[in-house]
Each structure stands twice: as structure tokens, then as C-alpha cells.
Structure 1
Amino acid sequence: MNEQQIRESLDAHWRASASGDLDAEHDIYDDDVICDYPQSNERIRGRFNLQTLRSRHPGKPSGFEVRRMQGEGNLWITEYTITYEGRAAYTVSIMEFRDGKVVHETQYFSEAFEAPAWRSQWVERMP
């Protein structure tokens, strides 16, 4: 699978994630995928378990926005925001592909925080 095909596959994956189409969202994963959540020290083994876990999430996202997607070869990174119950979760997904499917994904989640006033003279606000 070339990089253009991977990008198209990722675009379809994130569109399906945003729309809540769980079947289409999980087409990108190999049956034996491993998905790691380092912040909670969890590992999900297998596409079935990953899709089942996500289908049982107690709150359906009310917003989903891909901010940036960058990759080369078999390693791709996506920065995106998911909104749950009015709160944004800034997320980074690192996906490793083999034979056109994701075989390993690592996701990091972070909540927004207020910028400290002491550094305001050196920064600008992002849109």
C-alpha cells in the first residue's frame, strides 16, 4: 500500500470515527491489532476487542476534528480533538501499518488547561 492509499484509508477512518460508524471506523485495523493507552496503562488486543470497547463508551462524542495528519511509509500520526460532554480531549494517535492495515496504535489523551499568565509575553493564542 502506498502513502496515498494509506492517507485515503486514514481519511475514511477519521470520517467514520466522527460520524459514529463503528464498522467503517474499524476497517483500518488488522484482526490482531494492538492498541495501547499509555496514560491508563491499558493494552487492547484484537480488532474485535477494540471495536467492542469503543462501542461501549458511555458518552457518544459530540465533536470530532482532525487537526493534522502526517506520515511516511508505515508510520502515521494524527492529532485530533474529541469532545465528550462539552469537554475537549486533545488526542494523538500513532499508527503503524503492515500490508495496508494498522497493526499497532498508541493513543495519548489530554485535557485542555489554562495558559499561565507569566508566559504571555512570549506566546500567541492559537485559533
Structure 2
Amino acid sequence: MAIRTAIDQHWAASAAGDQDAEHAIYHDDAVCEYPQSGEVIHGRKNLQALRSHHPGKPSGFKVRRVTGDGALWVTEYTIDYQGKLAYTVSIMTFRDGKVAHETQYFADPFDAPSWRAEWVERE
């Protein structure tokens, strides 16, 4: 439960724009990967600096689901960048109660094709 509490505090701080509290969850030597852009961020300080200098700071943030156990946790959430949603997945690996490695995937929304309508329901 300590890790789940830390994750909840991390996402709440991220949504509130509290950079120090948001990054308290990471080890100093944490690694964060953005596979879609090919970027790898080494160290909590670099990760916090990168996020602190984002030119289009998020205007909204919503956690959809957090699942995990032991050292591996996954969070699905949306980020609102001034009206444009990014559907995001964060995969965190913990060591000694802090994040040692995180991989984040970002996806744009898309219109559902009409041919699937009879088998799906819309949110």
C-alpha cells in the first residue's frame, strides 16, 4: 500500500503542478523513457527540469486507472494540453519504494470507425 499511496500522491501533485512533490517519487538515478520520440531522460533532476520547462503546460489531468503489485505499476491517464487530449500510459518499476524506471506512452484520440458500432458502446 505504501507504493500505491506514493503513486496517488505523485499523480495528485502532477495534476496540481507541484513539481517538487511530483518528482519526490523518483530515485535520483531514475530513468524515464519516451519510446515514441526515442528520448531517454537520466536522473530525477533532469526529468523534473524537462517537465518544468514544458512550453504548453497541461490544463487538465485525469487518472483513469492504476494497477500493479510489488515493483511493477501501470497508470492510465489523460492529459489536456489546452483542449487537446493525450491518452497516456505510465509503466513504473520501483526499487526500495521509489521509481527506478518509467516508460511513458502518449496517444492522440481518434474517431471510432462506423463499422464497429454494433459491437461497442461509447463513453
TM-score by length of 1: 0.96
In the alignment, which of 64, 68, 72 is matched to residue 71 of structure 1?
A: 68
Report the AA paired with residue 98 of structure 2: K
Give the Å deviation of 1:60.
1.5
Gaps of 5+ in 2: none
The 2-side partners of 1:122 and 1:99 are apart by 44
The reply to whether residue 48 of structure 1 matches residue 45 of structure 2 is: yes
The 1-side partners of 2:2 and 2:68 are apart by 12
Report the AA paired with residue 9 of structure 2: A
Aligned sequence identity (%) = 67
In the alignment, which of 6, 16, 31 is matched to residue 13 of structure 2?
A: 16
The 1-side partners of 2:6 and 2:96 are apart by 12
Report the AA paired with residue 16 of structure 1: A
Runs of at least 4 residues of structure 1 off by over 3 A?
Answer: none
The 2-side partners of 1:98 and 1:62 are apart by 31
The 2-side partners of 1:108 and 1:48 are apart by 21
Give the structure 1 partner of residue 3 of structure 2: 6
| Cα-to-partner distance string for 1:58-79 (whole Å, 9 max, x where unaligned) | 0111110000000010000000
The 1-side partners of 2:26 and 2:107 are apart by 24
Q: Secondary structure at the match of 2:101?
A: strand
* RMSD of aligned residue pairs (Cα, Å): 0.5
